[in-house]
A and B are shown apart, each in its own frame.
Chain A
């Protein structure tokens, strides 16, 4: 269990001075420090790739929280990861508007093309494939995002070409 791991992580990760400073700047934007917890987790994940248990412990120390309180937040939100992801996150929207226009077939094609199932990462660590709930692009379906970037009005060949073009 991840929660056990957080509580038992022997030492907190040492965060860089730059990261600490960026977190302090976030804290200054809120009336109460804890308001910056999501922003801090995002900063940490952007720099380290994921928020592993020792890292969650380090964040807990900054905010004066129990590590379990950080885990509770971490596990509530879909965009936080406790394990490393591939260099590129490819997330196909599979909610209704996209599915009506073939999103689930498209996801299956990408699974076959990459030789992995949704939720897995290619053995070379290049791509993590997944599905996601509505990304707010229903009028331009089907679509996927690669990291922060949206790619809309796709079909199988276009989606495969996008994934093949990822370094």
Chain B
């Protein structure tokens, strides 16, 4: 079912091409679950959190929030149940790493979940898998069954006094359920409309109880950090952004696919040296660095290290590490149309500036693409995008505005060219 081995592997993916890695027996044979056994039997939750905090692990779901800090927000004096939630609702266009992490390494994920659950004191993990990811869900269901049968999960997980179970939950097709409070609503059987914060999930999360939510890849790093230590982890990547990231490279490149590389690897190195550059001898025109929400970089700004502290200087973000490459034939107005069409369809509709704004962006971009746009439309496009930012319940409206702002910042002349030429001057561009 597709190509699953990354082109470049690191500690997360080095055994992806080995089928045994996906089975309980194969995972155990290579020492799997020993780190969790040690954590659950020999470490206090506070000690686990301290290691994760000092490792500097940041969330890999797009927001890069420090994971250990998030875990420390969970109340320690609460009597009732609390929960861990694994956000496996990967749906950021350009991102496909979590699917492969689940399909090829389900026990690596479960071990990370178990350690995190112990650290935050969660009696149950809800593993919320994107509805379309049928293969990942079936692999995980089998892995959870094996883990229960072997006493890894259950009333005495790995021989400890800690009882834990993982409940597999499937989504049903909605991008917004990747937003952590949208996900919690969906988990409760409702529309996935994000909640107002505060209260944050650690105070009031799933079913009204304290909850920690992290992304699939974030959990997968945890066993490696516990096993090798925070200093080992800090030795990889940059000072502010340690560890590897599973970069997904797509679009106009010779070798699209997954690349597990240290954070801080240069974007032009990933594009030209690892992914083989642009096919057909054509030149690169722009690169979206971290999934469709992150603002585009033009060809002249690709000499940047892939970590937020460097990308921010160029008005963009790491996001989920989904790198989308566009060659010189690409019409950037069409790129905008695809982004805006997506966000219009996926807006949950509860905030006005998002519900209306995504529709306006989409209409204006399509009008420009058809050659019916005016200078006034172009000005309005920027104005609408700017007014959508920062005023909504969740960051979806920002995510819809950023790609448009990035396109206008770097390719404003091309947009104006669509007005003056009354149509698209790029006759070799991909079809809309």
User: Nearest-CB distance from A155 to chain B (Å)?
Assistant: 14
Residues of A within 8 A of B91 (CB): 133-134, 136
User: In the assembly, what is the distance between CA of A63 and CA of B346, in Å?
Assistant: 27
Asked whether any CB of chain A lies closer than 8 Å to the CB of B306, the reply is no
User: Nearest-CB distance from B216 to chain A (Å)?
Assistant: 11
**Contact residues of A between 82 and 106, Cβ < 8 Å to B:** 94-97, 99-102, 104-105
Residues of A within 8 A of B130 (CB): 136
Asked whether any CB of chain A lies closer than 8 Å to the CB of B119, the reply is no
Q: Assuming A136-B99, A139-B257, A150-B1, is B93 touching A37 (CB within 8 A)?
A: no
Tell me whether B189 and A102 are in contact (CB under 8 A): no
Residues of B within 8 A of A101 (CB): 251-252, 430
User: Nearest-CB distance from B328 to chain A (Å)?
Assistant: 12
Residues of A within 8 A of B384 (CB): none
How large, as a class, is the contact surface on chain A?
35 or more
Q: Specify which of A36, A38, A63, A134 is in contact with B186 (CB 8 Å cutoff).
A: A38
Tell me whether B131 and A77 are in contact (CB under 8 A): yes
Which segment of A13-21, A117-125, A140-148, A159-167 sits at the interface?
A140-148
Asked whether any CB of chain A lies closer than 8 Å to the CB of B149, the reply is no
User: In the assembly, what is the distance between CA of A44 and CA of B98, in Å?
Assistant: 28
User: In the assembly, what is the distance between CA of A78 and CA of B348, in Å?
Assistant: 12
Tell me whether A99 and B432 are in contact (CB under 8 A): yes
Please, what's the 1-or-0 string for A26-68, where 1 marks a CB less than 8 Å from any CB in chain B?
Answer: 0001111011111101100000000000000000000100000
User: Nearest-CB distance from B136 to chain A (Å)?
Assistant: 9
User: In the assembly, what is the distance between CA of A112 and CA of B192, in Å?
Assistant: 36
Tell me whether B132 and A136 are in contact (CB under 8 A): yes
How large, as a class, is the contact surface on chain B?
35 or more
Q: Specify which of A79, A102, A138 is in contact with B96 (CB 8 Å cutoff).
A: A138
Asked whether any CB of chain A lies closer than 8 Å to the CB of B187, the reply is yes
Q: Specify which of B135, B172, B258 is in contact with A77 (CB 8 Å cutoff).
A: B172
A97 (CB) vs chain B CBs: closest residue:
B250
**Contact residues of B between 137 and 188, Cβ < 8 Å to A:** 167, 169-175, 186-188
User: In the assembly, what is the distance between CA of A77 and CA of B191, in Å?
Assistant: 8
Tell me whether B94 and A79 are in contact (CB under 8 A): no
User: Nearest-CB distance from B111 to chain A (Å)?
Assistant: 22
Tell me whether B81 and A137 are in contact (CB under 8 A): no
Residues of A within 8 A of B167 (CB): 29-30
Tell me whether A133 and B430 are in contact (CB under 8 A): no
User: In the assembly, what is the distance between CA of A152 and CA of B431, in Å?
Assistant: 19
Residues of A within 8 A of B338 (CB): 94-96, 99
Q: Assuming A72-B191, A96-B339, is B95 touching A138 (CB within 8 A)?
A: yes
Q: Assuming A148-B134, A149-B1, A152-B2, is B207 touching A32 (CB within 8 A)?
A: yes
Residues of B within 8 A of A104 (CB): 430-432
Tell me whether B342 and A140 are in contact (CB under 8 A): no
User: In the assembly, what is the distance between CA of A137 and CA of B170, in Å?
Assistant: 18
Tell me whether B192 and A136 are in contact (CB under 8 A): no
Which residues of chain A have a CB within 8 Å of any CB of chain B?
29-32, 34-39, 41-42, 63, 72-73, 76-80, 94-97, 99-102, 104-105, 108, 132-141, 145, 148-150, 152-153
6 closest residue pairs by CB, A with B: A78-B173, A37-B189, A77-B172, A148-B134, A138-B250, A97-B250
Complex A-B: 8 CB contacts under 8 Å: A30-B189, A31-B124, A72-B191, A79-B132, A95-B292, A100-B325, A105-B431, A138-B95
